[in-house]
């Protein structure tokens, strides 16, 4: 029975170490996305144009 308690304590300690490492990496900016914003600005106009054309088509269909 003592081994179960020891394994439980060790697993909690390991989980806390991984959680601490995750928090530390987030604070240091490890997961910041620096690539997507630069690419998003290239495709933003096309998405807006597609939405505008769909809206215009819907209004044209409603007028008919």
pLDDT in tens, 29-46: 888 877 777 777 777 565
Q: How many CA atoms lie within 13 A of 3 on its CB side?
A: 0
At residue 48 the predicted structure's pLDDT band, cuts being 50, 70 and 90, is: low
What pLDDT was estimated at residue 3?
95
Q: What angle do CA 35, 46, 56 make, to 5 degrees?
A: 150
What pLDDT was estimated at residue 64?
59
Domain limits, the chain: 1-32, 33-64
Q: Average pLDDT over the chain, rounded to whole? A: 81
Contact 31, 25 (CB under 8 A): yes
């Amino acid at each position: 029975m003592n081994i179960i308690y020891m394994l439980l304590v060790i697993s909690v300690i390991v989980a806390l170490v991984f959680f601490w490492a995750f928090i530390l990496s987030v604070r240091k900016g490890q997961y910041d996305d620096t690539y997507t914003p630069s690419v998003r600005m290239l495709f933003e106009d096309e998405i807006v144009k597609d939405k505008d054309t769909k809206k215009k088509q819907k209004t044209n269909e409603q007028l008919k």
